Amino acid sequence: MRSFIRLLSVVCLTAVLTLPLLSVADDASVDYAADAAKTGGDPPTVPHRVKEGDTGKSCLICHEKGLNKAPETTHPERLDCVQCHIQGEIKK
Amino acid sequence: MGVTRRDFLKASAAATAFAAVGASALNPLKTGVAEAAEDGIKWDKAPCRYCGVGCSVLVGVKGGKIVATKGDPASPVNRGLNCIKGYFLSKAQYGKDRLTTPLIRKNGKMVPASWDEALDLIASKFKDSIAKNGPNSVAMYGSGQWTVLEGYTAVKLFKGGIGTNNVDPNARLCMASAVGAFMNTFGSDEPMGCYDDLDLGDTYILWGANMAEAHPVLYSRLIDNRLKHPNVKIIDLGTRWTRTSQQADQYIPFKPHGDLAALNAIAHVILRDNLYDQAFIDKNTVFKRGTENAPYGLKDKETFDDVAKPLTFDQYKELMKPMTPEWAEKICGIPAKKLVELAHIYGDRTRKVNSLWTMGVNQHARGTWVNNLIYNLHLLTGKIGKPGENPLSLTGQPSACGTAREVGTFGHRLPADMVVMNPKHREITEKIWGVPAGRISPKPGPHATEMFRAVDRGDIKCIWIQCTNPYQSLPNLNRYRKAGNEPGTYAKKNDAFIVVSDIYPTRSTEMADVILPSSSWVEKEGVFGNTERRTQHWFKMVEPPGQAKNDTWQVIELAKRLGHGDLFPYKNFDKEMFEEYRQFTIGTGKDLAPYETYYKVRGLRWPVINGKETRWRYAEGHDAKVTKGAGVEFYKAPNKKASIWFRPYEPPAESPDKDYPLWLCTGRLLEHWHTATMTGRVPELKRAMPEAVIEIHPEDAKGLGIKSRDKVRVSSRRGSIVMTAELNGRGKPEKGSTFVAFFDETKMINELCIDAFCPISKEPDYKKCAIKIQKV
């Protein structure tokens, strides 16, 4: 029984100790380069006409799976597309 | 081994929260993103230069230049996301016409000068004026975009050196009503909740706030919460349909100024239908009534006192009796049934209700009252001071909290909620500043509108403007500047000596006698404080261009020339000055951490007690100052009781009539920050939103023979401009209303706005005046 509890403690502690590597603690790493490498680049502007009211579901029609040669989004859970992807020079 | 189940659950929750939104932030984009891997880029953190959300940004510097910025994945605020303005921060400071040398107006032309020449001139003008007309003849107009120490330097020189309280910030134009209500309700400024409430609540009621465009990253957090928890409801109450409305669960339109009626009716129903928490009310609140039939600030030098009279709960209920939903419907246009429904949402014990607001409520001729009324709903129902349910006053500027409000850069203020009118507060301040007793004047300085009226009248002879653009952003602009001049041409029409410190030419620099080139953002070390009390630090990362200098250096150079250099004896300037300022906060419940603590963290929410930040003020278990067993305790309020204010409905300052039959509302949009001096110089942002248009309801347009994209003349009693009409624009105003964003320096819509303001806060009402439109 004792050895089981010891084992359980070790397993739990290991699990807990690995979690801070994933968690956003306020004493987060000051390796800013590593943080910068984790996150994406600039959101591209939109090369086709964006009608007012287009965002989220209407964009995902093409961009969720990459229909009609549209680039597939890496972040389908971000639903207010036009917050970052603004109207650019219209090419198509 | 001592790993408790509680710790485990906490750790798991933290991991999940990060993984949920930030997961994709961890996956590098597949296509062509070389920046992160590029050699030679040095990365560091800074809070974003723009709004009061306070996203953290990673700034990449190479060859002495900012070459890239990224949303900071380690920030609990934005978790790797920025809005599009933030994503283009690397371009904002590199416009071609950056100011790089001091300029002095000689024979009508701006001539380059040395710093000494410019500063000597400014000092001589200030000295002369102080000698001839007294210290109250000079003034400083500052900014919620000042860093903490820029604000502190100005306040220390003017209030502690020169001996005038003539310092007021542009935050008077955006957050003063919120501050007024924080003070008269809770006895202390700034929210009790934090952004964690955006993840933990299930009901979000937005009052006149277009969050999708003005606080985009926070709106994304709400959308994300709803994605994970389908019972989450976002209810958008506004005078105009916006992107926020589109993504909300409900859009409830109301007539301009009608919030004052609607909020009262909701409180009426909460009382009528027994939706209030009697125990909470008994323990934590008192009832009050203030001065009514209040003025609108339209006369110069108008004074007003909000005199409080105590009420019993029964007296309050009696006063609330006439404010029925049917009464409110006539005023605000929201159906009575809907108001009842909203009251039942606020009173629903199974729901964690949050209210969110900014300019619709604050830039209001009764703005402090509207803030009070929103707090009333939370105080009556006890939905306050608890994780996941709070009223959250959203801040507009990056450091209106951290600088203007916390340092006290207002005419009546001192740091840490103190006021110049209180002798004890003056004494505390004089001691920390090491200035003689009696140095600080007990006479409050003028608020922003009055300050510029005083300049106009000739009562203020010298004014220094830093980091803001009042000659585009004040209401009723034609009082203060020549009407109709081209941008860049001289526009001054008074005899005051005007100094403007900025980074680009603006509609204010064209009023100046001296223009001083300033450092911007990461061209200097700094600290900002955001909406949720999070103080964030950044280091200097690049040199400013040409001869541009910090605003703090500029003010200290004036101080030296005025004989007050001894106020700034610091060797390690930023650290020593911050530690001096920090003394004001210790023990007040607004405690800041030691300066170096902020170097490594993504900010900390004050009060910081023993190194631990505070997420919820006044809440037991979260706020160290709360008495054990007290639950929720408003320990900064007199007798620890928050005030529920009875506030009546009073009409707007100006309403449409037969001569000027339409409402004009002004505001912001996503692509541009304030007067677009920075964002307007970012090519992508300028292309996406090149000019301001007037949004008109199609039926109103039809009646005037106006089609979309027609040129129209828009006029109020105060001014008139020509611009493009838009019938199918981004926002859809209700019939009888129009909307113009104020960013465009060629369409100075504030010429039309009325300089009426809330009598308590002195914050102008930019949301309501009467206009007419004619096809050109």
Domain ranges for chain A, please list them.
43-92
What order of strands is seen across the sheet that includes strand B642-646? B309-311, B285-289, B642-646
Q: Which of A12, A38, A43 sits opposite B25 (nearest CB)?
A: A38
Q: Which of B58, B81, B87 sits opposite A36 (nearest CB)?
A: B58
At the topology level, CATH places domain B662-753 in Barwin-like endoglucanases (2.40.40)
Dihedral over Cα of B51, B34, A71, A38: its sign? negative
Cβ neighbours of B227 in A, within 8 Å: 77, 79
DSSP-derived secondary structure for B195-259: THHHHH-SEEEEES--HHHHSHHHHHHHHHHHHH-TT-EEEEEESEE-HHHHHSSEEEE--TTTH
Q: Which of A20, A40, A41 sits opposite B11 (nearest CB)?
A: A20
ipTM over 0.95: no
Q: Which of residues 16-75 of A touch B (CB under 8 A)?
A: 16, 19-20, 22-30, 32-33, 35-43, 45, 52-53, 55-56, 71, 74-75
Q: Which of A15, A24, A33 sits opposite B74 (nearest CB)?
A: A24
* pLDDT per position as a tens digit, B111-139: 999 999 999 999 999 999 999 999 999 99
Domain ranges across chain B: 5-27+40-92, 103-174+398-531+548-569, 177-394+640-646, 662-753
Phi, psi of B260 (to 5 degrees): -65, -30
Dihedral class, residue B769 (left if φ above 0, else alpha if ψ from -120 to 50, else beta): beta
| pLDDT < 50: residue spans in chain B | 1-37
- Interface contact A89-B613, CB threshold 8 A: no
| pLDDT of amino acid B36 | 45
Q: Mutation target for B interface from A4, A81, A84, A87: give the one with most B CBs within 10 A.
A: A84
- From A50, which residue of chain B is nearest by alpha-carbon distance? B688
Pairing of strands B56-62, B65-71: antiparallel
Q: Is B286 helix (H, G, I), strand (E, B) or coil?
A: strand
Q: Which of B734, B655, B657 is nearest to B697 (CA)?
A: B734
- Interface contact B729-A39, CB threshold 8 A: no
Cβ neighbours of A82 in B, within 8 Å: 243, 670
> Cβ neighbours of residue B255 under 8 Å, at least 6 residues apart?
B239, B331, B332, B333, B734
Phi, psi of B762 (to 5 degrees): 70, 20
pLDDT tens-digit profile, chain A (92 residues)? 667 666 666 655 555 554 443 334 444 458 999 999 988 778 999 999 999 889 899 999 999 999 989 999 999 999 999 999 999 999 86
Cβ neighbours of B29 in A, within 8 Å: 40-41, 74
Q: Considering only the top CATH level, what class is B5-27+40-92?
A: alpha beta
Contact B316, B644 (CB under 8 A): yes
Cβ neighbours of B70 in A, within 8 Å: 36, 39-41
Q: What single-letter DSSP state applies at residue B589?
A: T
Cα–Cα distance measured from residue B333 to residue B335, given in angstroms and rounded to the nearest whole number: 6
> Cβ neighbours of residue B114 under 8 Å, at least 6 residues apart?
B102
Q: Which of B690, B681, B744 is nearest to B93 (CA)?
A: B681
Q: Mutation target for A interface from B78, B602, B682, B739: give the one with most A CBs within 10 A.
A: B602
Q: Which residues of B does the annotation mark as catalytic? A: 85, 174-175, 359, 396-397
Specify whether domain B177-394+640-646 bears CATH 3.30.390.30.
Answer: no
Cα–Cα distance measured from residue B284 to residue B192, given in angstroms and rounded to the nearest whole number: 14
End-to-end CA distance of chain A: 70
Q: Which of B24, B25, B87 sits opposite A42 (nearest CB)?
A: B87
CA distance B710 to chain A (A): 19
What order of strands is seen across the sheet that includes strand B534-538? B526-529, B534-538, B604-605
Q: Which of B381, B371, B263, B252 is nearest to B327 (CA)?
A: B263
pTM comes to 0.92
User: Which CATH code fits B103-174+398-531+548-569?
Assistant: 3.40.50.740
Count of A–B CB contacts within 8 Å? 171
Contact B754, B476 (CB under 8 A): yes
Q: Is B721 helix (H, G, I), strand (E, B) or coil?
A: strand
